Structure 1
Amino acid sequence: MPLYRKHGKPEYTFDFQLHGRRFSGPTGTSNKRQAERILEEKRREARDQLKLAASFTAEGPMSLEIATSRYWHEVGQHLANADNYWRFLGWLLGHFGKSVTLDRITDSMVAAMVSKRRADDISNATVNRTATVPLRGIMTRAKKTWKVPVADIDWSRHLLKEPKERVREASVDEERRLLIAMRDDYTPAVRFAILTGCRRMEIVDLTWSRVDFFGRTITVTGKGEKTRILPMTNVVYELLWALKGDHSSAVFTYLAKRTSKRRNLIRGKRYPITMEGFKTAWRRYRDKSGVENFRFHDTRHTAATRTLRTGNMKVVQRMLGHEDITTTAKYAHAMIEDMRVAMDAANHTGAADPAFNSLEEKKKSA
């Protein structure tokens, strides 16, 4: 029977099979008519589930709605920026429509999509990241993994050119000015960033349980919840040791300047720094320092460039937590610049050198 009451229970339970699959559960009501209506709803839901499951594995043309749903479950939800990716996929569905099949999405339609996205007055990188790259990912997976027909798209024509990421290193004087201008309770966090190359979120989330003074290591959690272990230099050791008694769990904290019942703050007590609080303090006191054209991410560039001068690319790769060393290669400019300076110093012959003057006279007389 599709509807029955368990022994001693007044509520009805539904139990039926559809295409070899069993569906069962409580109806939540002891009224038979209501239970029958719920049973019909459950049967409709079951048919929709089976229909959706069949469309997921179909080998014929696949709708964009099914493709985005499948891509989300297999790829998107596991990405570090999953929340944003969900929005990107939603935008694609809104633009193309749910029913369009992948074999009908042409180069012309992709070009129109890029044009519409650019009209939102966003950067080329944002257009690529939020529209073109997600669509390419869906269609590539559909073709190579799901083996369903897709249109032949020349993606090189649709990916917009992006400026190369700059590598901005703070000079010693700029570092000094930044630290002097910074609010005292945020200064250790900024100095730690310059010394280690850690991202802002890695600094905000750092707890004492991840600081090993005996082993002189720090464990940080970066993008995608991936952890890496950093060695603790003497300078970093002294910096962290001085903060040890400030808070029971958080390494980097700020001092409440006033009591706030709304924010549960007590004046003079220390609290873990937050992302928003850190961003506000950075903007305010960086501007006060007079250091221009310097973002917080440039503290990471500074640490990487300085380390590369005394280490090698592999060291910097592990320090920054890059999976691909080509991402780290942008810091190679430091090695090239240092090489140029060294070569200039080594090849300092000039007009004062008799041999050089003799050579110049021979060239003139030739």
Structure 2
Amino acid sequence: MPVYRKHGKPEYTYDFKLRGHRFFGPTGTSNKRQAERILEKKRQETLSNLKKAASFTAEGPMTLEIAASRYWLEIGQHLANADDCYRAIGWLLSHFGKHVTLDRISDSMIAAMVARRRTDGVSNATVNRTSTVPLRGIMIRAKKTWKVPAFDVEWRRHLLKEPRERVREASQDEEKRLLDAMRDDYAPAVRFALLTGCRRMEIVDLKWSRVDFSGRTITIRGKGDKVRILPMTEVVRELLWTLKGGHPTAVFTYVARRTRTHLKLVRGTRYPITMEGFKTAWRRYRDKSGVENFRFHDTRHTAATRTLRTGNMKIVQRMLGHEDIATTAKYAHAMIEDMRLAMEAANHTGSHTGAEDGDAMALKNRKKSA
């Protein structure tokens, strides 16, 4: 279907294929006829860009428009966050203009771009991920892969400093308050997150075909379509077993509270939870619980920290799906108290270094009184 509505969203999304590539994005309108006109305009623009890219040779400078189109075709559309990449490219073209060439995008221009993006009141991380990092990807690929002229940018000077990711663990009381406040149909998804450390997208995407009760495993499809297998603990098995029969394909579902004809929702019927619906429910009922300074990603921190106390770093790395164990190392704080207790136990086993005998104690007392 060339234009369609995503679940829970009033505006249409366009979606089409051209020369073996898929193109999609928001139309910005809830009117179907307008959406179809926007679709046709996008199709013509894309066709024009493809023709320009196909006719390009490495003998001269490349415009940002052509470079962005090639980057989208080769890299952007295949990313897990393709929608974000598409929006970032659109912002870059709007800021610099379509016809600026890569050899003219200098350090000075990039510094001005960063300053402009910061005026939007977003965080340093957002500035990096929505402007500097996408532009860096385009320009480096143009220079190293396509062998076209591009300014020699010192990217480290333009990346803003980001705070180190915190590790926030829910206490037992906070966990109870969160689950008690959560809507009954969304509570199982939140509990699953606390038990497994799965990301929100991984929970929304979980299908019954990837749940193996007999083998007691769950196949998770994570970032970049990377697959990992989690063992099914008894508690997780009981949780998932109660959800069987709710929906033929989706594990986690919600109950429609009212009929919405335009969204094809019928009151009392279960539907797969969506990212936007899950985000809304989380914010609303998290605030209702009274638990402060706790984000959904902190459920992942909670699961990892608790597992690390009884396991080891390698186990947590595999559970979370981290490629580099250095990423998992931020949870090492959970082992500090266990290390202290172990060292205390070792120092009180009767060794001369751990416990002073009577003669040593007497000597120390004499030195104090001298």
- Equivalences for residues 128-147 of structure 1 within 5 A: 128-147=128-147
2:277 partner letter = G
- Equivalences for residues 81-120 of structure 1 within 5 A: 81-120=81-120
Shift of 1:125: 0.5
Q: Deviations over 1:290-327 (max 9, x none)?
A: 22211111111111111222223332222222233332
Q: Which residue of 2 aligns with 1:301?
A: 301
Q: Deviations over 1:88-125 (max 9, x none)?
A: 12222222222222222221111111111111111100
Q: Which residue of 2 aligns with 1:220?
A: 220
Q: Deviations over 1:262-281 (max 9, x none)?
A: 65555554433333332233
- Equivalences for residues 53-202 of structure 1 within 5 A: 53-55=54-56, 57-202=57-202
Given the two structures, how large is their TM-score scaled by the length of structure 1? Answer: 0.77
Counterparts in 2 of 1:118 and 1:228: CA distance versus 1, 3 Å: same
Q: Unpaired segments of 5 or more residues in structure 2?
A: 1-46
Shift of 1:358: 5.2
Query: Is the deviation greater in 265-274 or in 312-321?
Result: 265-274
- For the residues of structure 1 that align with 2:156 and 2:50, how far apart are their CA atoms? 38
Q: Secondary structure at the match of 1:250?
A: coil
Counterparts in 2 of 1:237 and 1:356: CA distance versus 1, 3 Å: farther
- For the residues of structure 2 that align with 1:250 and 1:96, how far apart are their CA atoms? 43
Q: Secondary structure at the match of 1:219?
A: strand
- For the residues of structure 1 that align with 2:257 and 2:144, how far apart are their CA atoms? 58
Shift of 1:256: 4.4
Q: How much is the aligned-residue C-alpha RMSD, in angstroms? A: 3.1
Q: Unpaired segments of 5 or more residues in structure 1?
A: 1-45
- For the residues of structure 1 that align with 2:251 and 2:138, how far apart are their CA atoms? 42
Shift of 1:232: 0.7
- For the residues of structure 2 that align with 1:328 and 1:155, how far apart are their CA atoms? 26
- For the residues of structure 1 that align with 2:192 and 2:205, how far apart are their CA atoms? 13
**Kept after mapping to 2: 8 A contact 1:62/1:148:** yes
- For the residues of structure 1 that align with 2:218 and 2:149, how far apart are their CA atoms? 49
Given the two structures, how large is their TM-score scaled by the length of structure 2? Answer: 0.76
Q: Secondary structure at the match of 1:153?
A: coil
Q: Deviations over 1:221-259 (max 9, x none)?
A: 222333322111111111111222333333223344555
Q: Deviations over 1:25-78 (max 9, x none)?
A: xxxxxxxxxxxxxxxxxxxxx9997664232x3143222222222222222121
Higher Rg of the two aligned structures? 1
Q: Secondary structure at the match of 1:99?
A: coil
Report the count of equivalent residues.
Answer: 321
Q: Secondary structure at the match of 1:243?
A: coil
Shift of 1:346: 4.9
Counterparts in 2 of 1:310 and 1:58: CA distance versus 1, 3 Å: same
Query: Is the deviation greater in 122-131 or in 355-364?
Result: 355-364
